[in-house]
Amino acid sequence: MKVKKFNKNEDYNQIIDFLTEEYKHNKNLLCWLPARFDDLIFRIDTLYHNERGLQKSQDFIYIFEEDNQIVGIIVPDGDSFNSCIKSGYENIFSQMLDLAEKELQPLFEKDANGDIDFLVISHDSLKYQADELRKRGYVRDGASDYDNVQHPMETNYVIELPEGYKQVYGEGLDDNMKAKACHYGFHPIDDDGVLTGEFKEGKLAYQARKKSRYYSNSFESLIVTDEKDICSYCFCYVDINTNTAFIEPVCTREKYRNKGFAKQMLHSVINRLKEMNIESCYINSYDWRKKVYNAAGFKTEDSIGFWHKKL
């Protein structure tokens, strides 16, 4: 078994091919979607590193190979360990943890005692991983992530919004306003109600995702007022090769919440994907967001546990 650190120039295409084939085999998010990997490499790494001064996740990706073929990868997502393992190679999970506990520590903040809360994210359906984590002293906390899926070909939605609001796909709207509205959705304390003017955090990341190989087929969906104030925002990556879509991020500004806008916005995404003949659309959620996505017609496919251990 050969283990090497990820080099974007040399290994990017090979990882995309690996994730593509794993999805075609599994037909679920046990493997990261290639588009989800791109979101990490381009948008999230830009947000965390270039805008917040933190470590790049891609600098801590490790590739496991046998006979020059990828059989597994360690994919940190910020301060967390994620993995994708080819069927039949489950035994390398222990080796992955050995390496990760040593090499991924710079991604985590140390407490007053110099310890770190090392976080492993694992699908609950992968029982062998839970068994290994318990054996090593990891404890699963009470929170969960959820993989949710909808099949656009099976439905067709009518978009119904209150008077004064409309759904749009983002064309003709200023990029700076869209990026700022997205930031406000996650950081309502920053929302001064003005989408024009100077904006910093999220601006570079918004532009960086345009480098993704999936960007040309991807699109935004928004709910806006008749005066073009942005209420809700989401971005949908579209991968023609796997015939899938991945929605990330999804947000609603605080003053426009509890109006059902997220549901209608997601329905508009599904309608457009149906027109594109996309078979499956995925969205990842946590805590109360699961209810929002399920209400929009997404079905929970798998739960994901957060496993912690002090190192």
Domains plus CATH for the chain?
A: 2-146+305-310 (3.40.630.30), 152-303 (3.40.630.30)
Q: Alpha helices of 32-173 — where are they, by DSSP H?
A: 34-38, 45, 92-103, 127-135
Please tell me the predicted confidence (pLDDT) of residue 276.
97
Mean pLDDT, residues 33-39: 97
For 44-86, what is each residue's pLDDT tens digit? 999 999 999 999 999 999 999 999 999 999 999 999 999 999 9
C-alpha to C-alpha distance for 83 and 95, rounded to whole angstroms: 12
Strand blocks (E) in 155-279: 165-168, 219-225, 230-239, 244-252
Is the CB of residue 97 less than 8 Å from the CB of residue 125? no
CB atoms within 10 A of CB 208: 18
Q: Looking at the predicted structure, is the pLDDT value of residue 99 above 90?
A: yes
pLDDT in tens, 253-273: 999 999 999 999 999 999 999
The answer on pLDDT for 29 being more than 90 is no
305 is written with which tokens? 């546990």
17 sits in which H/E element: helix 8-26
Return the amino acid letter for 119: L
**Residue 289 pLDDT level (bands cut at 50, 70, 90):** confident
Contact 183, 52 (CB under 8 A): no
pLDDT number for residue 282: 97
What percent of the chain stands above pLDDT 70? 100
- pLDDT tens for 159-216 read 999 999 999 999 889 999 999 999 999 999 999 999 988 888 899 999 999 999 999 9
Both tokens of 74, joined, read 């360690």
CA–CA–CA angle 154, 157, 162 (5° rounding): 165
Long-range contacts of 272-276 (CB under 8 A, 24+ apart): 272/169, 272/219, 272/221, 272/236, 273/152, 273/236, 273/238, 273/245, 274/152, 274/153, 274/155, 274/156, 276/217, 276/238
Nearest alpha-carbon partner for 28 in 306, 302, 304, 303: 302
User: How far apart are the C-alpha atoms of 244 and 258, rounded to whole Å?
Assistant: 29
pTM: 0.94
Which of 95, 114, 92 has the alpha carbon at shortest distance from 103?
95
According to the model, what pLDDT value does residue 124 have?
Answer: 95
* DSSP letter, residue 29: T
> Which ranges constitute the DSSP H helices of 124-275?
127-135, 175-186, 203-208, 261-275
Model confidence band, residue 30 (pLDDT cutoffs 50, 70, 90)? confident
Q: How confident is the model at residue 223 (pLDDT cuts 50, 70, 90)?
A: very high
Q: What is the mean pLDDT of residues 232-247?
A: 97
Say what angle helices 92-103 and 127-135 make with each other, to 10 degrees: 50
Q: What is the mean pLDDT of residues 8-34?
A: 94
- Mean of pLDDT over the chain: 95
SS3 124: coil
Q: Is the pLDDT of residue 286 over 90?
A: no
More confident position, 289 or 232? 232
Backbone angles phi, psi at 222, to 5 degrees: -140, 155
Q: How many alpha carbons fall within 13 Å on the CB side of residue 50?
A: 16
